[in-house]
Amino acid sequence: MRYKILGKTNLKVSELAFGAIQITRIDQKEAINLIRFAYDSGINLIDTASSYFNSEEILGKALKGIREKVYVISKSGKRDKKNFLQDFNTSLKRLKTDYIDFYLFHGISKNNEFDQIEEAGVIEALVKERDKGKVRFIGFSCHNPAVIEKFFKVKDFSILMIPLNFITTEYVEESLLYKFNQNKTGLLAMKPFGGGRLMDIEICFKFLRQYPQVIPVAGMQSIDELKQNLIYIGKDDNLTKTDHKRIKELSEELGTKFCRGCGYCMPCKEKGIEITDINFIEVYYKQFPHDVFWNIGLDKKVEVARKCIECGKCSEKCPFDLDVSEIIKKNIAFFDGLKKV
Ligand code: SF4
Ligand code: SF4
């Protein structure tokens, strides 16, 4: 395993981070073995969140005896001080630790979400926890490039998690990359395989290799998957002409259907459709434990989504010009297909 310095944190982290949402889908003993296998393979950076079901609890058990040798990222999506700190302390308890290496504001994807945590003193509260030694570095995860400017506003932020793959490239446009480099931002790439939609792992890693300052966070749920990722992350090759051609083909194929989950199209004032959840049904199915997938209220949301009148108002708000009602239809069909099995 090779290691890199993660921006201004100066921590030496493995060039592949383990995304721990999917370990909640497998048997707990198997999940613990998988984490230990990842650690033995040299991975020293693990990503979880307070909302990732029992992921933190599993990690608490899996990291027994090696906690100090691993860097843990966790997050809370709460926007008020009381609930955020409650999540933070629960994360500490579940992870069986007295400090967390990185704690992030989860999913800051709209400017007003940032304003909310700033005005409610939540950022200040997390800085205080950091000063007490309970967290080492802070920042946020984000699904909308338009919010990144807010990141640079806070001098205490050192780590940013963004979706990055060969379809989602808005975050690495020249001017933003320049700012990240100036700011020495520690960059973590979520969805390196587009939430399972970009099937060519080799090309995905080659694409990310162009950005040496970025650490991909790959969700994994089996040793085989991990081994496969280790093979490709360990290579040095760059994108070839054939890869560029393949990227072009895949981008054209997926470009008009690939929802990034930024939520800009919301709310649906016409019918109250939960567009992002509907658009992510297939991704949720691939990531969540199946018992959870069937219990997050999708049935009801799908029933509401069936009422879409295809007015196109959401598409007008989508920065990626997606045909949102088409994506909704496709996900409803996927959901209905699952019900028939
Ligand atoms: S197209 Fe459908 S989801 Fe979009 S705003 Fe209209 S009713 Fe809502
Ligand atoms: S449809 Fe467009 S605006 Fe809505 S969540 Fe997806 S990418 Fe964002």
Residue 300 inside a domain? The answer is yes
- Provide CB contacts within 8 A for 66, sequence distance 6+: 39
Triad 60, 65, 70: Cα angle to 5°: 70
Dist. CA 256 → ligand 1 center (Å): 17
Q: Whose CA is nearest to atom 8 of ligand 2?
A: 262
Residue-level pLDDT at 93: 98
Is the predicted pLDDT of residue 110 greater than 90, yes or no? Answer: no
Candidate of 197, 265, 278 to mutate for ligand 2, largest count of ligand atoms within 8 Å of Cβ: 265
Closest CA to 111 of 147, 142, 137: 147
Rg for the chain, CA atoms, rounded: 20
Residue 249 inside a domain? The answer is no
Residue-level pLDDT at 262: 82
In degrees and rounded to multiples of 5, residue 33 shows phi and psi of -60, -40
Residue 257 inside a domain? The answer is no
Residue-level pLDDT at 133: 98
Question: Residue 81's pLDDT band (boundaries 50, 70, 90)?
Answer: very high
Question: Residue 115's pLDDT band (boundaries 50, 70, 90)?
Answer: very high
Which helix (H) or strand (E) is 189 found in, with range?
A: strand 186-190
Candidate of 167, 279, 280 to mutate for ligand 2, largest count of ligand atoms within 8 Å of Cβ: 279
State the Cα–Cα distance between residues 230 and 164, nearest whole angstrom: 19
**Whether residues 115 and 159 fall in one domain:** yes
Last residue of a domain, one of 242, 266, 290: 242
Instruction: State the ligand closest to the CA atom of 313.
Output: 1
Question: Residue 216's pLDDT band (boundaries 50, 70, 90)?
Answer: very high
Triad 13, 17, 22: Cα angle to 5°: 155
Other beta carbons within 10 angstroms of residue 268's beta carbon come to: 22
The boundaries of the domain holding residue 159 are 3-242
**Whether residues 99 and 236 fall in one domain:** yes
Mean pLDDT along residues 120-131: 98
Instruction: State the ligand closest to the CA atom of 305.
Output: 1
pTM of structure: 0.89
Mean pLDDT along residues 124-149: 95
**Whether residues 328 and 206 fall in one domain:** no
Count of the separate structural domains present in the chain: 2
Dist. CA 167 → ligand 2 center (Å): 14
Residue with more model confidence, 198 or 231: 231
> Which amino acid would we find at residue 336?
D
Classify burial at 73, counting beta carbons within 10 Å of its beta carbon; exposed 0-12, middle 13-18, buried 19 or more: buried
Is the predicted pLDDT of residue 137 greater than 80, yes or no? Answer: yes
DSSP secondary structure letter of residue 221: -
CATH code, domain with 78: 3.20.20.100
Side-chain-facing half-sphere of 183: CA atoms under 13 Å: 23
**Out of 60-64, 138-142, 312-316, 337-341, least confident range:** 337-341
Which helix (H) or strand (E) is 217 found in, with range?
A: strand 214-219
**Whether residues 132 and 213 fall in one domain:** yes
Inter-residue contact 79 to 94 (CB < 8 Å)? no
Model confidence over 174-206: pLDDT tens digits? 999 999 999 999 999 999 998 777 878 999 999
Question: Residue 17's pLDDT band (boundaries 50, 70, 90)?
Answer: very high
Q: Is the peptide bond before 289 cis (omega within 30 degrees of 0)?
A: no
Residue 265 inside a domain? The answer is no
Residue 207 inside a domain? The answer is yes
User: CB of 18 closer than 6 A to ligand 2?
Assistant: no
Is the predicted pLDDT of residue 165 greater than 90, yes or no? Answer: yes
Residue-level pLDDT at 258: 84
Triad 39, 44, 45: Cα angle to 5°: 125
**Out of 75-89, 125-139, 327-341, least confident range:** 327-341
Dist. CA 216 → ligand 1 center (Å): 34
**Whether residues 15 and 99 fall in one domain:** yes
Last residue of a domain, one of 242, 262, 297: 242
Residue 173 inside a domain? The answer is yes
**Whether residues 307 and 236 fall in one domain:** no
**Whether residues 224 and 299 fall in one domain:** no
Mean pLDDT along residues 245-271: 86
**Out of 121-130, 255-264, 287-296, least confident range:** 255-264
